[in-house]
Amino acid sequence: MTSLNFRQHEILLIARQSGKVTVDGLAERFDVTPQTIRKDLNDLCEQRLLTRTHGGALLSSGVENVAYEARRLLAEYEKQRIGERAAQLIPNNCSLFVNIGTTTEEVARALVKHEGLLVITNNIHVATTLTPCPGVDVIVIGGMVRRSDGGIVGEAAVDFIRQFKVDYAVIGVSAIDDDGALLDFDYREVRAAQAIIANARRTILVSDAMKFTRSAPVRIGHLSQIDTFVTDQPPPDTIVDICRHHGVTLEVAQAAEEPASGLSAA
């Protein structure tokens, strides 16, 4: 790996804190030209530390996740659309798991008017959102609470999850590989997610399109284990082919003025 100059180190630190950086914002911060910043970003992207986007770059570390508050703000509007569409797929009077993630939290926000739900979650933010709702009973999975994001992880959480067999699971991931692998950063969280998938009759994956450009080191499972995949943009052809081959239904959550499109991959 080529050594980084001081400014590139600072750019990487900013990206880790906020999840993304922009050329104009960095040029103003460091009082240099946009061309200089573009060269810095290109160098960082060549070393696979960042991923270039229009006007800036995203963190692409394969071993370290973006801080929780930054993740919550990344693709915020897209996650809301995904959450609303996923909630439409969940009927009243059913049971479901909701796991850790900022996108699954948007699903929870969209479930507040449902009736007769039993929600079992290892996400403190999901529990806080749904506990006041008269039509929803909430069970919080026991275990160690991860201070960084309010996720409950560890062997105690896995054992707790295995006591249930629910109608639906709503799961999020940190990255989706070209071969259909579902990936995350914390092996403790992965164990809980695997138990959730194994103990649900139907699994709904919620993930924004940025997850197609990211990487993470720990394997949760494979797209073939998913029943419905809700995202905000049509996935790459490789992902579409995998879903079609394994009978996974793709749901692309469109903007409010556009109807949601269901792309059956069966």
Architecture of domain 6-60: Orthogonal Bundle (1.10)
Worst-scoring range by mean pLDDT, 3-7, 48-52, 136-140, 248-252? Answer: 48-52
Of 202, 196, 185, 205, nearest in space to 107 by CA:
205
The domain made up of 74-263 has a fold known as: Rossmann fold (3.40.50)
Q: pLDDT for 65-107, tens place per residue?
A: 555 555 555 668 889 999 999 999 999 999 999 999 999 999 9
Mean pLDDT score across all residues of the chain? 88
Q: Is the pLDDT of residue 264 over 90?
A: no
Q: 157-192, pLDDT tens digit by residue?
A: 999 999 999 999 999 999 999 999 999 988 888 999
Residue 110, classed as helix, strand or coil, is helix
State how far Cα 251 lies from the chain centre: 15
How many other CB atoms are there within 10 angstroms of residue 147's CB atom? 8
Tens of pLDDT, residue by residue over 209-244, are 888 877 888 999 999 999 999 999 999 999 999 999
The reported pLDDT for the residue numbered 77 is 86
Residue 156 has pLDDT above 50, yes or no: yes
CA distance 94 to 163: 17
- Write down the domain spans for the chain: 6-60, 74-263
Whole-angstrom distance, CA of residue 136 vs CA of residue 116 = 6
Both tokens assigned to 204: 């709904």
